[in-house]
Structure 1
Amino acid sequence: MKLSLIIPAYNEELYLATCLQYAIKELTAHAKPGEFEIIVVNNASTDRTSAIASGFENVRVVYEPIKGLTRARQKGLESASGDILAFIDADTRMPAGWPGKVLDAYAKRKDLVCVSGPYRYFDLSGIKSFLVKLYWLALAKPTYWLTRYMAVGGNFAASKQALLRIGGFDTSIAFYGEDTNIARRLAGEGRVQFDLGLVMDTSARRLKEEGFIPTAVCYVLNFMSEAIRKKPATSEYRDIR
């Protein structure tokens, strides 16, 4: 199985190089050349995002001129040649063993169409870090048991053929709820697995900027809205860079 790693990037010059360094290290440790590819989707950036990505020989840059996270993900889907498409964010730092866990999950279950896991914030400490762990353990995982689907946008991998069968990403969704939307729709094609052990390290910039409780409430409301009304509750969002 070939793995395509897709990284949407809008004005990510401060984080992208580190993200790519971590990703390249892990992918080259778990796969041979030709068994993986890395695609950065330059999503209408006005900074040095494209130049930074182009400086890595193992990285292919594609351009999506219309700004929007789901549009960037869709461009990645259309550009990828892999059997499994893994999506992470430009401010993540891939932990050791992450590609292997994804490939093992698909090897073990032939009905698997999506696997995802939680975030762990590398720049968050103390009580807030504990509350994040509690959120995933006490709220997110039980919710997954009830719905049988859940995905985190910067930490999931999906079968390319399953994504194509459902028509790809819903580009009418700007930001909030897009990951729940794709997980809900993929659940009709096979097993969607949420694994607490498939952790992705990421920046806490949104939590710090908008506040822990408002951010958590926003994500919960949009998950519930997608699950019940089949559309997000929130249409507006802020870029935090």
Structure 2
Amino acid sequence: MGVMSQKPPLVSVVIPARNEGREIELCLRSLEGQSFQDFEVIVVDNGSTDETEAIARRYGCRVIHEARPGVSFARQRGFEEARGELVVSTDADTTLPPGWLELIVRSFEESPDQVGVYGKIRLRERRGFGQWLAEFLFAAFLRLNHLLGKPHFCGPNFAVRREAFNRAGGFKDKDKENGREGDRFYSVSEDLQLSLKLVREGRIRFHKDLVVYTSPRKLQGGSLRYMWEHTKNYWAVTWLGRSR
């Protein structure tokens, strides 16, 4: 995992991280156990002050530093540095089943016109009914919106063809300000924004068997509150065309 060679790997896995010393080792350990092995891991250190970088290097990852704070900048930088034909996104607080990368690669091999794939996100451990309900509703939310033609990438579990990602402009938004075309990074929902742009480049698949397990810490402020905030962002971006 993460060993540099003359031949580029087929897959690049990008992990943005800021002070993830307590979480990232579980993620990297699960990547070591993948059945598919032709891949590199790029950890984008977004200003960590803990042992995040040291742990990543211990596992043989490429470590890239991104000074601009924010996951949009970090993920974009990692995708730009990727050498693989396929670029896979996950998060430092997420663990991956052994066949995760193999499912992703097979999905692209089966569909030459496919430019992206994404799947389900489950909690590593559920604490109470609220977290169970949030997980259930989010899975239904992803599936429904895919059926409506509005695919919804989520940072811990999606993959794209690198060429299609570059054609779509990555996680950047093109704005005309003062008569000039300028790059602006999405400040919220950068993964969702990307999927809505990428669907113009080809087919995006929702893979029901592509599952990852993430930390429930995002729900610490309340499971239903998290779902409400996420849904508001989704409707603003998807149906109202707002990028902030």
**Could you say whether these structures have the same fold, taking a TM-score greater than 0.5 normalized by the shorter chain as the test?**
yes
Is the CA contact 1:177–1:222 (under 8 Å) kept in the aligned structure 2? Answer: yes
What is the one-letter code of the residue matched to 2:186? I
2:67 aligned to which of 65, 68, 79? 65
1:199-238 equivalences under 5 Å are: 199-207=211-219, 209-232=220-243
Is the CA contact 2:121–2:139 (under 8 Å) kept in the aligned structure 1? Answer: no
What is the one-letter code of the residue matched to 2:41? I
1:64-213 equivalences under 5 Å are: 64-170=66-172, 172-174=185-187, 176-207=188-219, 209-213=220-224
What is the one-letter code of the residue matched to 1:19? C
Counterpart in 1 of 2:13?
Answer: 5
How many pairs align? 225
Which secondary structure does the structure 2 equivalent of 1:62 belong to?
A: strand
Q: Which has the larger strand fraction?
A: 2
| Cα drift, residue 95 of structure 1 | 1.3
CA distance in structure 2 between the aligned counterparts of 1:137 and 1:81, rounded to whole angstroms: 31
- Cα 1:12–1:5, aligned 2, differ >3 Å: closer, same or farther? same
Counterpart in 2 of 1:52?
Answer: 55
Is the CA contact 2:94–2:212 (under 8 Å) kept in the aligned structure 1? Answer: yes
- Cα 1:14–1:107, aligned 2, differ >3 Å: closer, same or farther? same
Runs of at least 4 residues off by over 6 Å: none
CA distance in structure 1 between the aligned counterparts of 2:42 and 2:142, rounded to whole angstroms: 29
RMSD value over aligned CA atoms?
1.6
| Cα drift, residue 63 of structure 1 | 0.8
Which secondary structure does the structure 2 equivalent of 1:96 belong to?
A: coil
Relative to the length of structure 2, the TM-score reads 0.87
Structure 2, unaligned stretches of length 5 or more?
1-8, 173-183
Which secondary structure does the structure 2 equivalent of 1:147 belong to?
A: coil
CA distance in structure 1 between the aligned counterparts of 2:95 and 2:46, rounded to whole angstroms: 20
How high is the sequence identity, in percent, across the aligned residues? 32
CA distance in structure 2 between the aligned counterparts of 1:148 and 1:218, rounded to whole angstroms: 18
| Cα drift, residue 8 of structure 1 | 0.4
Is the CA contact 2:171–2:191 (under 8 Å) kept in the aligned structure 1? Answer: no
Counterpart in 2 of 1:23?
Answer: 31
Is the CA contact 1:150–1:192 (under 8 Å) kept in the aligned structure 2? Answer: no
CA distance in structure 1 between the aligned counterparts of 2:213 and 2:153, rounded to whole angstroms: 15
What is the one-letter code of the residue matched to 1:172? F
Q: Which has the larger helix fraction?
A: 1
CA distance in structure 2 between the aligned counterparts of 1:164 and 1:140, rounded to whole angstroms: 24
